[in-house]
């Protein structure tokens, strides 16, 4: 851990918030992608079965 001096709070919160925002964006994208892909696959399977 490097010595951040009196600005430790600022630097750490900036890193924390930014990385959290990125993580949320990635998670939302992945979740939506999975959901849509599952729906599409289910639909195509159903059509194939008929």
Partner 1 sequence: MSLWEYANPKRFMQISAAVLPWVAGFGGVCLAVGLIWGFFGTPEDYRQGATVKIMYLHVPAALLAINGWLMMLAASLIWLIRRHHVSALAARAAAPVGLTMTVIALVTGAIWGQPMWGTWWVWDPRLTSFLILGLFYLGYIALWEAIDDADTAADLTSVLCLVGSVFAILSRYAVLFWNQGLHQGASLSLDKEENVADVFYFPLLLCIAGFVLIFLALVLYRTRTEIRLRRLQALMARDRLL
User: What's the rounded Cα separation, in Å, for the pair 42 and 11?
Assistant: 46
Can residue 36 be called a binding residue for partner 1 (CB under 8 A)? yes
- Out of 2, 27, 45, 48, the only residue in the binding site for partner 1 (CB under 8 A) is 2
User: What's the rounded Cα separation, in Å, for the pair 10 and 3?
Assistant: 13
Using CB under 8 A as the criterion, what x/- string covers residues 4-33 for binding partner 1?
xxxxx-xx-xxx-xx--xx-xxx-xxx-xx
Can residue 45 be called a binding residue for partner 1 (CB under 8 A)? no
User: What's the rounded Cα separation, in Å, for the pair 29 and 24?
Assistant: 8
Q: What is the DSSP letter of 4?
A: -
Binding site for partner 1 (CB under 8 A): 2-8, 10-11, 13-15, 17-18, 21-22, 24-26, 28-30, 32-33, 36-37, 39-40, 43-44, 47
């Amino acid at each position: 851990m490097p010595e951040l001096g009196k600005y430790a709070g600022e630097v750490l919160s900036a890193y924390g918030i930014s990385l959290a925002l990125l993580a949320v964006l990635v998670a939302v994208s992945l979740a939506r992608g999975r959901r849509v892909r599952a729906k599409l696959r289910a639909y195509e399977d159903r059509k194939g079965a008929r």
